[in-house]
Amino acid sequence: MLADRSRELLRTALARHVPGTAVWVYGSLVKPGRFHEWSDVDVALESLPPGMTLEYLQSLLSADVGREVDVCLLGHTRLKPVIEGGGERWIA
């Protein structure tokens, strides 16, 4: 239930702040039974919208979701194969 609510909040926040952007959600939020009250949310963007910084987006999403949201760019992380292999691709 906690994971479902966090997913719902994340979808709403992404649609508000980066509409139409392709994102990957990965980590404990997409692994059944792994998400708990202290979990953060991991998000990788395929591209950053003009005028937006990762730090600013991270703060907006964290405030809206009510927990730490870590944001990275998919093309700039060594975790790209892991993210694409086990994450979920969403369109905000």
The string of pLDDT tens digits covering residues 4-46 is 999 999 999 999 999 999 999 999 999 999 999 999 999 999 9
Task: Return d(Cα 80, Cα 73) in angstroms, integer.
Answer: 9
Mind giving me the DSSP string for 7-65? HHHHHHHHHHHSTT-EEEEEGGGGSTTT--TT--EEEEESSPPTT--HHHHHHHHHHHH
Question: Mean pLDDT throughout 58-79?
Answer: 97
Both tokens of 18, joined, read: 């980066």
Instruction: Give the tens place of pLDDT for each residue, 51-60.
Output: 999 999 999 9
Model confidence band, residue 1 (pLDDT cutoffs 50, 70, 90): confident
53 compared with 1, residue with greater pLDDT: 53
Answer yes or no: is pLDDT of 90 > 90. yes
Pairing verdict, β 41-45 and 22-26: antiparallel
CATH 3.30.460.10 fits 2-91, yes or no: yes
